[in-house]
């Protein structure tokens, strides 16, 4: 049976979406990834582009409210927010906090923003590989 992993950040627009997409694409044989936000916004188009560059399509994802997962047991809740308050999720067996920079604060030209998104994507995908790729 696959372990269920819920990635949470504030808007569920980039960091948690990248993590969900990466986990499902690379380790979907052992894990089922989900994502949600405490104040969901819109899927970040830069995150979609950055994931497409590494062969993972998250264009069909949507931002979801954490409340959609009330009562749904998860094996692991991973908070990917950078500082601030992280939610308490009583239906998670294990909770982990791994902070990553918030891409919504990136400014500059299209290429400068993409470079920032790529750095954040690479940090997240590396952490996914280290944490979930080695276990099973």
* DSSP element (H, E) containing 78: strand 74-79
Q: Given pLDDT bands bounded at 50, 70 and 90, which one contains residue 81?
A: confident
Q: What is the pLDDT of residue 98?
A: 85
Active site residues: 9, 81, 86
Contact 41, 13 (CB under 8 A): yes
Average pLDDT of the chain to the nearest whole number: 92
> Dmax over Cα atoms in the chain, in whole Å?
45
Q: What is the pLDDT of residue 47?
A: 97
Which architecture characterizes domain 3-131 according to CATH?
Answer: 3-Layer(aba) Sandwich (3.40)
Q: What is the pLDDT of residue 8?
A: 93
Q: What is the pLDDT of residue 37?
A: 92
Label residue 12 left, alpha or beta by phi (over 0 means left) and psi (-120 to 50 means alpha): left
**Per-residue pLDDT reduced to its tens digit, 42-67:** 999 999 999 999 999 999 999 999 99
Give the sign of the dihedral formed by CA 10, CA 12, CA 13, CA 18: positive
State yes or no: pLDDT of 103 exceeds 70.
Answer: yes
């Amino acid at each position: 049976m696959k372990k269920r992993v819920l990635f949470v950040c504030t808007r569920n627009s980039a960091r948690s979406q990248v993590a969900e997409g990466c986990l499902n694409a690379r380790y979907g044989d052992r894990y089922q990834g989900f994502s949600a936000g405490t104040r969901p916004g819109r899927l970040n188009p830069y995150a979609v582009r950055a994931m497409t560059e590494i062969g993972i399509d998250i264009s069909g994802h949507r931002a979801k409210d954490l409340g959609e997962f009330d009562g749904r047991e998860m094996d692991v809740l991973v908070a990917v927010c950078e500082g601030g308050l992280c939610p308490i999720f009583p239906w998670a067996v294990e909770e982990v906090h791994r902070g990553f920079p918030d891409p919504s604060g990136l400014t500059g030209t299209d290429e400068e923003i993409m470079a920032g998104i790529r750095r954040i994507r690479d940090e997240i995908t590396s952490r996914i590989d280290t944490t979930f790729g080695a276990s099973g």
